[in-house]
Amino acid sequence: MNKSINRKEFLFALIASLCFIALALYSFFADIWFAKSALLGRIEFMDVVGWLVFAALAVVLFLENKNAFLITAAVYSLMYLINLFRIFDTQLLLSFLACLALTAVAFLSCMGHPIISKVWFVPAVLMFIGALIAWISYKYFSNFRVYWMTILANLFEVAAVLFAGRWLKETL
């Protein structure tokens, strides 16, 4: 299949891919640091799943494969659902809903549904609202020197979801 290269489409997929790579690296090093500093004491199975899901999303977006992205987005949603059952939190609930919305946008994009042009940004908005609630409720801004990397990681995830949604919109 000879597909002409759409520069906008590739740029959105590339930015989303880079954001997911940054998120995978941050998660990896943060989890190792927490395990070594004995705050958590060990690396859990869901930590490894998170690294793999973020890395898989980055690869799939770089390859610009919508069908593989649909499957990976569904696994991304499942990851948040499992974490939601482990620890109920408003941020996790909104992140799960954002991932579910991203999966729905990917499904609609694979089907070629035109509503994508009106809802592609909804997953990122949900992810941002969840992060904002966490920042305020956990008082991240009052101790910014400690939490700036967590805030930055949240912003990378919001950006990744935003640009992935925009990529899906451009692929129609």
Residue 83, pLDDT above cutoff 70: yes
> Looking at the domain assignment, is residue 91 inside a domain?
yes
> Looking at the domain assignment, is residue 56 inside a domain?
yes
CB 46 within 8 A of CB 79: yes
Q: What is the pLDDT of residue 2?
A: 40
Burial class (CB in 10 A: 0-12, 13-18, 19+), 71: middle
Q: What is the pTM of this model?
A: 0.94
Q: What is the pLDDT of residue 41?
A: 75
> Looking at the domain assignment, is residue 85 inside a domain?
yes
Shortest CA distance to 55 belongs to which of 34, 91, 28? 28
Q: In the numeric block, which tokens belong to residue 14?
A: 């590339």
Helix (H, G, I), strand (E, B) or coil at 138: coil
Q: Which amino acid is at 72?
A: T
User: Average pLDDT in the 24-28 region?
Assistant: 97
pLDDT in tens, 36-79: 886 657 888 999 999 999 999 999 999 999 999 999 999 999 99
User: Average pLDDT in the 127-137 region?
Assistant: 96
> Looking at the domain assignment, is residue 62 inside a domain?
yes
> Looking at the domain assignment, is residue 1 inside a domain?
no
- Domains in the chain, number: 1
> Looking at the domain assignment, is residue 2 inside a domain?
no
* Residue range of the domain that includes 92: 7-170
pLDDT in tens, 134-163: 999 999 999 999 899 999 999 999 999 999
